[in-house]
Amino acid sequence: MKPVNPNVENIQPAPNMSDGGKAVRFDGTAWQNLADHKNDHLFFESWLSLQSRILRSALNGVVVVVDEVEQDLRPAAYWPPEAIPDKDLIEIAEAAVRRRTGIIRRNSVNDVETQSIAYPILIDGEVAGVVGFNVQPGSDVMLQSALRQLQWGSVWLESHIKGKQYNLVHGAASRLSTALDLVAVSLEYDEFGPAASATLTEVASQIHCERASFGVVSNRHIKILAISHTAVFSRRMNLVRAISSAMEEAVDQERLIVSPSSDENIAVTRCHEELARRYGFAGPVLTVPLYDDRRIYGALTLEFHPDRLLEQDDVELVTALGTTVGRVLEMKRKESRWLGVKVLLSMQRQLHRLLGAGYLGRKIAVIAIAALVLFFSTVTSTFRVTTDATLEGRIQRMLVAPYDGYIAEANIRAGDKVSRGQVLAKLDDRDLRLELEAWASRKKQYLAERQRVVANHDMAQANVFKSQIDEADVQIALLNEKIERAIIVSPFNGIVLSGDLTQSLGRGVQMGDTLFQVAPHESYRIFLKVDERDIEEVAPEQTGSLLLNSMPHDPFAFTVTKISSVTLSEEGINMFRVEGLLDITPKGIRPGMEGVAKISINEQKLVWIWSRSFLNWIRIQYYKWWL
């Protein structure tokens, strides 16, 4: 305890002050009640009586303790028993609680001086109560002595409250241990029947009752499912019916029933009394309703021997067992039901929640889902097939090397725009020109020789030289053609799709090697990759829209022109090549641009559009595994 630190205060006169009461006669009854720790009222009242006798000058007093349920300070006892503490005593008690120390006050009412003392009861630093007395006037030394005596006497109160707290904690721990042991028994069995029978038998053994029964609500009646020490029983037995009636009696009143009852709020116990008298052991009967999500799902009934007296600890233990063991048995009962029954009951429960009170969020969600289903089942939209698309030139010209040679000049690269007749590259023609001069010299020589033999009238030899002159003309024409073709020019206005010879000057090329790929920049086609699962919906003359990655704000209309029977495989998916033409060629587009194309098929309901792919997948899987 903390040392006394009295505060002496003067209080102005207050009206309606009680005249106090006389001290009770000192006898052994108060000491006997003080030893009874079970009755709080008698303990506190006896302590006040004894303390007032020790103080001698006490007029009246009060003990205020913390209520266990509400957790606030409430008067526990008065002295004298019929006296009600006046305003001054209440105020000094409140002041002692606030200051957590002993307080002395002098009061003056109607020229009559009285004095008040109060001391708080502290347990582990927390206020557990306060005791106060109005005493007759005396000196400061007498008041301090009285306050010190009050501090010493409050040790009894502190010890009593601590013991009560210990009993509460110990009782709760003992009930929890018993409940856990019984839960462990129920979990040893997988099936509900053996688990319920073994658990109830253990309940009867632990609580020392003659019989324990477990029942559940079924069609507004109680159905007995298990009885202790009984493996097999008939629900038509009179005993079973009596137990069921007792459970229904407690369930209908929605309260715990003890028969015979000493509760001030008398409950209807006719069925309990009949069970004890006709079919039981003529002793106490206790029934605890079992709750699950604020509803009663069953009851637990215990029958005791006539010599057994039920105490509050027994009632609290059975209530704890109903909360723990009852829930475990109910879970096992639900798990042991047939699957069809589980589904039916679950649907029934959900329907009850949907149509009954509460669960506003669930009702709103169901209404929203129903509205969405109705919307998608009635509203139609254009069904489109979505594919990847690539822009290509409608005509693509390959410019190849006309003969084996070397790159002499190249000023154009891929991506450059070119005009018709523009030089793209040149091949080295020096060897051709030298060979051309050689053949020209030969031709001159052949002409001179032919003139000589003609002058000699050698016509046979003249014909030979004529043939050689013709050969020279052919070679000269061929060389001129090669020299002319050594200049690579654009065949039309367009754009170079591929080919960069600027880094290959002097490199040798062979006849037929591709040098450039050129496409006209005013005529394009679309290359679509359509999934094989959607190809049956696509047909020529269908229209669609194309959105290029480089122009995401401007969709372009196109028309399907050709569906190829050649498939392409990408990432394990077969694709069909579909071609289309743009209705209008926009500015700024180039071959090779990619985007997304949507081909408009027909009008369909939204639910069909969104579920089509999934339903087709289901059909394939069903055919694959079942048919």
pLDDT, tens digit, for every residue of 189-219?
888 888 888 888 988 888 888 899 999 998 8
Contacting residues for 605 by C-beta, under 8 A, at least 6 apart: 376, 377, 378, 379, 380, 381
pLDDT at 102 over 90: no
283, 315, 336: which is the final residue of a domain? 336
One domain, residues 499 and 597: no
Task: Measure CA 545 to chain center.
Answer: 40
One domain, residues 86 and 148: yes
pLDDT at 484 over 70: yes
pLDDT at residue 287 in the model? 92
Q: What is the pLDDT of residues 319-329, one digit of tens each?
A: 888 888 888 88
Question: Measured between alpha carbons, how far is residue 148 from residues 8, 60, 155, 479, 574 in Å?
Answer: 14, 18, 12, 137, 99
Average pLDDT for 446-462: 82
Lowest mean pLDDT among 21-35, 245-259, 466-480, 532-546: 21-35
Question: Using 50, 70 and 90 to split pLDDT, how confident is the model at 515?
Answer: confident
**Residue 358: inside a domain:** no
Average pLDDT for 36-49: 75
One domain, residues 17 and 150: yes
DSSP, res 505? T
One domain, residues 32 and 59: yes
pLDDT at 264 over 70: no
Residue 453's CATH number: 2.40.50.100
DSSP, res 230? B
Highest-pLDDT range among 10-19, 270-279, 592-601 = 592-601
One domain, residues 262 and 199: yes
Beta bridge partners of 568: 575
Residue 93's closest CA among 70, 121, 57? Answer: 121
336, 356, 378: which is the final residue of a domain? 336
Q: Which carries the bigger pLDDT value, residue 233 or residue 618? A: 618
**Residue 386: inside a domain:** no
DSSP, res 403? S
Amino acid at 381: S
pLDDT at residue 215 in the model? 92
pLDDT at 476 over 80: yes
Task: Provide the number of structural domains found in the chain.
Answer: 4
Q: What is the pLDDT of residues 402-423, one digit of tens each?
A: 878 888 788 778 777 877 878 8
- Asked if residue 128 lies in contact with residue 65, where contact means CB atoms within 8 angstroms, the answer is yes
pLDDT at 592 over 90: no
DSSP letter string over 60-126? Answer: EEEEEEE-TTT-SEEEEEEESTT----HHHHHHHHHHHHHTS-EEEEEEETTEEEEEEEEEEEETTE
Average pLDDT for 171-175: 72
Residue 39, classed as helix, strand or coil, is: coil
One domain, residues 501 and 534: no
Contacting residues for 62 by C-beta, under 8 A, at least 6 apart: 48, 75, 77, 78, 79, 85, 89, 90, 93, 131, 132
**Residue 387: inside a domain:** no
**Residue 173: inside a domain:** no
Question: Using 50, 70 and 90 to split pLDDT, how confident is the model at 247?
Answer: very high
pLDDT at 292 over 50: yes
* Average of per-residue pLDDT values in the chain: 81
Give me the percent of the chain exceeding a pLDDT of 70: 91
Work out the angle at residue 26's Cα, subtended by the Cα atoms of residues 22 and 29, and round it to the nearest 5 degrees: 120
pLDDT at 503 over 60: yes
Cα dihedral: 288, 292, 294, 295 (round 10): -70
**Residue 174: inside a domain:** no
One domain, residues 402 and 324: no
DSSP, res 537? G
One domain, residues 120 and 235: no
- Residue 606: how many other CB atoms lie within 10 Å: 16
Question: Using 50, 70 and 90 to split pLDDT, how confident is the model at 20?
Answer: very low
Residue 365, classed as helix, strand or coil, is: helix
DSSP letter string over 262-283? Answer: --SSPPP-HHHHHIIIIIS-SS
**Residue 421: inside a domain:** yes
Average pLDDT for 309-323: 83
Average pLDDT for 596-613: 89
As given in the structure block, the two tokens for residue 201 are 């038998």
- Residue 77: how many other CB atoms lie within 10 Å: 21
Q: Is 488 left (phi over 0), alpha (psi -120 to 50) or beta?
A: beta
Give the total residue count for the chain: 627
- Asked if residue 289 lies in contact with residue 250, where contact means CB atoms within 8 angstroms, the answer is yes
pLDDT at residue 167 in the model? 73
Amino acid at 380: T
One domain, residues 199 and 331: yes
Average pLDDT for 84-97: 80
- Asked if residue 519 lies in contact with residue 396, where contact means CB atoms within 8 angstroms, the answer is yes
pLDDT at 581 over 80: yes
Question: Using 50, 70 and 90 to split pLDDT, how confident is the model at 4?
Answer: very low
Give me the percent of the chain exceeding a pLDDT of 90: 10
DSSP letter string over 555-581? Answer: EEEEEEEEEEEEEEEETTEEEEEEEEE
One domain, residues 317 and 193: yes
What is the helix, strand, coil percentage profile of the chain, to 5?
A: 40, 30, 30
Domain of 91?
8-168
Residue 541's CATH number: 2.40.30.170
**Residue 375: inside a domain:** no
One domain, residues 214 and 315: yes
Q: Is 597 left (phi over 0), alpha (psi -120 to 50) or beta?
A: beta
DSSP, res 535? G
Average pLDDT for 32-43: 67
pLDDT at 16 over 50: no
101, 136, 168: which is the final residue of a domain? 168
Q: Which carries the bigger pLDDT value, residue 9 or residue 102? A: 102
Rounded distance between C-alpha atoms, residue 441 and residue 452, angstroms = 17
Highest-pLDDT range among 56-60, 145-149, 281-285, 533-537 = 533-537
Residue 150's CATH number: 3.30.450.40
Average pLDDT for 383-394: 87
Question: Measured between alpha carbons, how far is residue 62 from residues 28, 127, 145, 361, 496 in Å?
Answer: 21, 16, 19, 53, 108
**Residue 301: inside a domain:** yes
One domain, residues 316 and 235: yes
pLDDT at 64 over 60: yes
Amino acid at 432: L
